[in-house]
């Protein structure tokens, strides 16, 4: 989650992290012989949301299989 006042670079870092977390396990390079890094990949769904208190909106973005999937804007 981010507030809309955070910098664009911080927002992009969070979205890149969600892309990495939702990458399928078969697309991740294994760096050791202990198996897949299950705590850092293979998540089914990643959700990023940004709260804009001024406009009273929440922007929700969904990430699946390492890719952006959908964006919704919700009033509150």
pLDDT tens digits along 18-67? 998 999 877 766 555 666 555 678 899 999 999 999 999 999 999 999 99
Say if CB 39 and CB 30 are below 8 A apart. no
H or E stretch at 59: strand 57-64
**Residue 36: predicted pLDDT:** 55
Please give the structure tokens belonging to residue 47. Answer: 């959700």
**Residue 30: predicted pLDDT:** 59
């Amino acid at each position: 989650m981010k507030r809309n006042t955070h910098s664009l670079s911080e927002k992009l870092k969070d979205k890149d992290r969600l892309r990495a977390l939702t990458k399928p396990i078969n697309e991740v390079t294994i760096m050791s012989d202990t198996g897949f890094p299950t705590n850092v990949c293979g998540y089914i769904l990643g959700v990023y949301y940004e709260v804009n208190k001024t406009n009273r909106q929440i922007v929700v973005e969904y990430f699946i299989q390492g890719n952006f999937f959908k964006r919704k804007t919700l009033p509150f």
